[in-house]
Structure formats: structure tokens, C-alpha cells
Amino acid sequence: MHALEGIHYYFRKAARIMDVGERIETLLATPLREVKVQVSIELDNGEIRTFIGYRTQHDNSRGPMKGGLRYHPTITQDECVALASLMTWKTAVVNLPYGGAKGGIAVDPTQLSMKEMERLTRKYVDQIQDVIGPTRDIAAPDVNTNPQVMAWIMDQYSRYHGHSPAIVTGKPAELYGTRGRDSATGRGLLYITREILRDAGMPMKGTRFAIQGFGNVGSHTAQLLWQDGGVVIAVSDVYGGVYNPQGLDVPGLFEHVKRTGTVTGFGGGQACASEDVLFSDCDVLIPAALGHALNRNNANAVRARLVIEGANGPTDPEADEILDKRGVLVVPDILANAGGVTVSYYEWVQNLQHLSWEEDRVNAELERTMKEAYDRVAQLARSRKVTLRTAAFILAIGRVGKATVLRGI
Ligand SMILES: NC(=O)C1=CN([C@@H]2O[C@H](COP(=O)(O)OP(=O)(O)OC[C@H]3O[C@@H](n4cnc5c(N)ncnc54)[C@H](O)[C@@H]3O)[C@@H](O)[C@H]2O)C=CC1
Ligand SMILES: O=C(O)CCC(=O)C(=O)O
């Protein structure tokens, strides 16, 4: 399924329950601005290569637009629109004073040297610096980008506009990054998982988790769940998976990944195909890689009781329906993975105030925010008799819609 179709489907389903009317529906679904730029660089061997960069700014009624930057060969303009709109709903679910944006470059970063990555990033900033800004559109890490990429963005943007740490979040700790951003998405998932398990009457201790993707989101989630007493029985990355029904030794796995760059070949479990992790015999499945992991062709094979979305858009609407009919509870991305942008907000606030918070404060604020959002969504789901996803969209559309109307069109 097309990325945009899925998000539009979820949005429309909630908007129709709320009866917002076709005109407001169209207004809220239409991005404010879509930017598509040429990103040409000289490779280390002197060849010229041209890549395409995107930045979609979806909605700014609640504040500056916020969202990650993805380097991936398959990224498209439509995908950026879908992901930017998800950011609008996500920031509204956790009640941050932000709108939504997302961007990326269609590139396979594994084919570039560090110097080439730097030139690519700086060139991309050259091309979009006039439409972004600390009070307009603030980027952050997403798939295949990291604190170093954020540092280059900050530096390049500052060459045009003066010292601007708040132009981007997820920066290195040594360069205005906040404590706790690296693990924030995983930590937010941990807090949501605790709430869900409590409501489902399942103790964390002994609950079996399978996690697809072992990057920023997947790896921190695995570590935090393991530290909390969870049993991580399967993990995967783009190269393959590893499975141990007794539970993987997560610190050992981290050592292995640090050494080899992949979960494959880890001695503490059996090798499996990347996709098999989705269908492993577990209690909770956490897709934390790319979109469309769960679709109409494979949703019936999921054995988990709960799916908690670490990735953005991992469940297609057909899969969502199949899972719902089978009684599998799905915790939507716009709630489950909102910890990352929440701590990005704390970083931005610290940058604007020239302050630096202790990690305990970051984590305590994050826990409060995630719990509050979960309570609101769960309460709406009960009162409206809808899924958690539809409830999260209802909460978000209500907040964004109100801000839009109050500001005037
Ligand atoms: N980084 C963040 O703070 C946030 C990220 N997200 C979402 O979480 C997801 C993962 O993002 P990050 O962890 O930041 O990216 P990352 O680049 O750090 O890691 C991605 C991981 O997914 C794996 N992967 C890619 N294709 C795969 C496949 N077909 N099967 C299994 N594994 C595969 C990669 O090998 C890698 O381990 C994305 O959907 C992203 O949009 C959502 C909220 C915040
Ligand atoms: O931290 C941020 O600002 C954005 C993170 C992000 O891209 C996401 O939540 O999908």
C-alpha cells in the first residue's frame, strides 16, 4: 500500500467519526508546503552525483513544524507527506507546541564515505535553509541519520543565520544536544508498554518481546525492556534476525552489534530471516524499522497479543483491521513512538533558554508526558468505543482543528 493512502485512511476514519466536515478535513489533510530540491555533490573520487532531497511541512497551527530527516534510497515525496502529517498528529497527541514536518534524501548512505555524507548534508541545508528555522521547521534524526548529521545541519544553517542551536534536535551532547535524546524514543516506548501491560493485567517480568529493527529505536527499546524485566526473544535488522525462546542476552547482543554492525551472527540464539521476527511466538511485537511491515498478506501470521508501533506507519490499514478482528491490541505510532519528539522538544526548549537539564529531569518529564497522553487516548478509546489508533487521531485532530479555527484561516 502507498504510504500516503494508509495515513489518509486513518485520518479520515477519525475525522468522519468527529464529523469535522469535508472542508476542514481537506484543509487538515493538505500539507502547507512541499519542497523538492537538487542535492549535487562531488564524490571523493571527483565524480559529480545528484540526489533528490525533500522537506514537507504539513501543519503549523500549534507551533513550528517538527520532524526527522531520513536518508534512504526509497524515500519519495509522497512518503514525506505521509510522515510529515503523522508528525502533526503525533505532536498533538503528546500536546507539544509544534506542528509536523518530515524530510529526507533519496540516497543509500552505506555507499557514501563520511566526508561525502557531510557534503550531502551541508548541500541539502544550502537548498532548504530559507524555508526552515528554529521558529519555523526544526529537523531531528530519523532512519540513517544521527547526532553527527544534526551537528552538520546546525553548523551549516548557522553560517547563513548566525549561531542557531535550536534549528535541529538530536545533536551530540557536546554540541547543545540534550541528555536522554538518544534513548528517548525507546524510553517513551517503555513507559507506554508499562501502561499497556498494566491495563492488560500482564506483568513486565517474563513478558516476551520480539523487535523488528535494531537501530536507534529498536536497540534502546530492547535494552530498556530487558532492564525492566522483559524477555527479548527475537530481534532483527536489515541483514537478518536472531531468535532465542529463552530470551536473548541483550548486553551481549549490544557488544556483538558494536563489533560487527549487525545482530546477525550473534552466538546467543538461532539465526532466522529478518521477517520471521514478526511472526515469532511472543507476547508483544514491536515493529521498529520501516513502514508497511504488517500488511494484508502477513497480519494473520502475527502471534503476539499486542503490537506496539516503534516505527512510523508499520501497520497498513488492512493489517490493522485483521489484527483488530483477531483481538490483537495495536498501540499506534503517534502515541507509542512519541518519546523521541517529546525529548526533542525539551532539547529545543533548553537551546532557546541556554540551559542544560539533568537526565533525571528529562526522563521524569518524558514519563509524565507519555503517561498523560496514554491516559487521554485510552479514555477516549473506551468512551468512543474505538481502537487506540482512532482515539489517538481523534485527540490529535481535535487539538489541531481547534488551533486552526482559533487562529483563523
Ligand atoms: N529515531 C527516532 O527518534 C524515531 C524514529 N522513529 C521511527 O522508527 C523507525 C526506525 O528509526 P531509527 O531507529 O531511528 O532508524 P535507524 O536507522 O537507527 O535504524 C533502522 C533499523 O531498521 C533496520 N531495518 C531496515 N530495514 C529493515 C527490514 N526490512 N527488516 C528489519 N530491519 C530493518 C535497520 O537495519 C536498522 O537496524 C522508523 O520508522 C522511524 O521513522 C519514530 C520515532 C522517533
Ligand atoms: O525528534 C523529532 O523531532 C522527530 C522524530 C521523528 O521524526 C518521529 O517522531 O518520527
Atom of ligand 2 nearest to the CA of 345: 3
C-beta 66 within 6 A of ligand 2: yes
Quote the DSSP letter at residue 178: P
Spatial contact of 85 and 58, defined as CB atoms under 8 Å apart: yes
Beta strands across the sheet bearing 270-272: 270-272, 240-243, 231-237, 208-212, 284-287, 306-308, 329-331
What pLDDT does 25 receive? 95
The C-alpha atoms of residue 363 and residue 256 are separated, in whole angstroms, by: 27
pLDDT at 227 over 90: yes
- Any idea how long the chain is? 409
Contact 41, 105 (CB under 8 A): no
The set of cell numbers assigned to 293 is 511491515
Q: What is 256-309 written as a DSSP string?
A: HHHHHSSSTT-TTSEEE-GGGGGGSS-SEEEE-SSTTSB-TTTGGG---SEEE-
Binding site membership of 291 for ligand 2 (Cβ less than 6 Å): no
Q: 248 CB less than 6 Å from ligand 2? A: no
pLDDT interval class at 187 (50, 70, 90): very high
Q: Indicate if ligand 1 lies below 6 Å from the C-beta of 116.
A: no
- Nearest ligand to the C-alpha of residue 145? 1
Q: Ligand 2 pocket, 341 CB below 6 A?
A: yes
pLDDT tier for residue 293 given thresholds of 50, 70 and 90: very high
Domains annotated for the chain, with CATH where assigned, are: 32-173 (3.40.50.10860), 184-336 (3.40.50.720)
Name the residue at shortest CA distance from atom 4 of ligand 2: 67
Atom of ligand 1 at shortest range from CA of 313: 39
N-to-C CA span, the chain: 33
Burial of 113 (0-12, 13-18, 19+ CB in 10 A): exposed
Strand bridging mode 33-42 / 270-272: unpaired
Q: Residues 306-335: pLDDT tens digits?
A: 999 999 999 999 999 999 999 999 999 999
**pLDDT tens readout for residues 69-78:** 999 999 999 9
CA 261 / ligand 2 centre spacing (Å): 23
- β-pair partners for 294: 315
Task: Write down the pLDDT at residue 204.
Answer: 98
Closest residue CA from atom 1 of ligand 1:
142
Give, for ligand 1, the residue of 85, 238, 256 to mutate: max count of ligand atoms closer than 8 Å to Cβ: 238
CA 310 / ligand 1 centre spacing (Å):
8
Q: Does the predicted TM-score (pTM) go above 0.80? A: yes
**Dist. CA 64–CA 199, nearest whole Å:** 35
Nearest-ligand number for the alpha carbon of 242 = 1
The chain-wide mean pLDDT, for the chain, equals 97
- Ligand closest to CA 188: 1
Q: What's the 217 CA to ligand 1 centre distance in angstroms?
A: 6
What pLDDT score was predicted for residue 169?
A: 98
**Which residues are known catalytic residues?**
102
Decide: 144 in ligand 1 pocket, CB within 6 A: yes
Tell whether residue 390 is among the known ligand binding residues.
Answer: no
Give me the percent of the chain exceeding a pLDDT of 90: 99
Pocket mutation for ligand 2, best pick of 333, 344, 348 (most atoms within 8 Å of C-beta): 344
Q: Tell me if 103 CB under 6 Å of ligand 2.
A: no
Is ligand 1 within 6 A of the CB of residue 342?
no
Give nearest CA residue, ligand 1 atom 44: 340
Distance between Cα 380 and ligand 1 center (Å): 29
Q: Exposed/middle/buried for 406, CB within 10 Å: 0-12, 13-18, 19+? A: exposed
Q: Output the residue whose Cα is nearest ligand 2's atom 7.
A: 68
Is residue 224 a contact partner of residue 187, using CB atoms and an 8 Å limit?
yes
Q: What is the pLDDT of residue 3?
A: 76
344 is in an annotated binding site: yes
According to the model, what pLDDT value does residue 5 have? 86
Average pLDDT over residues 178-186: 98
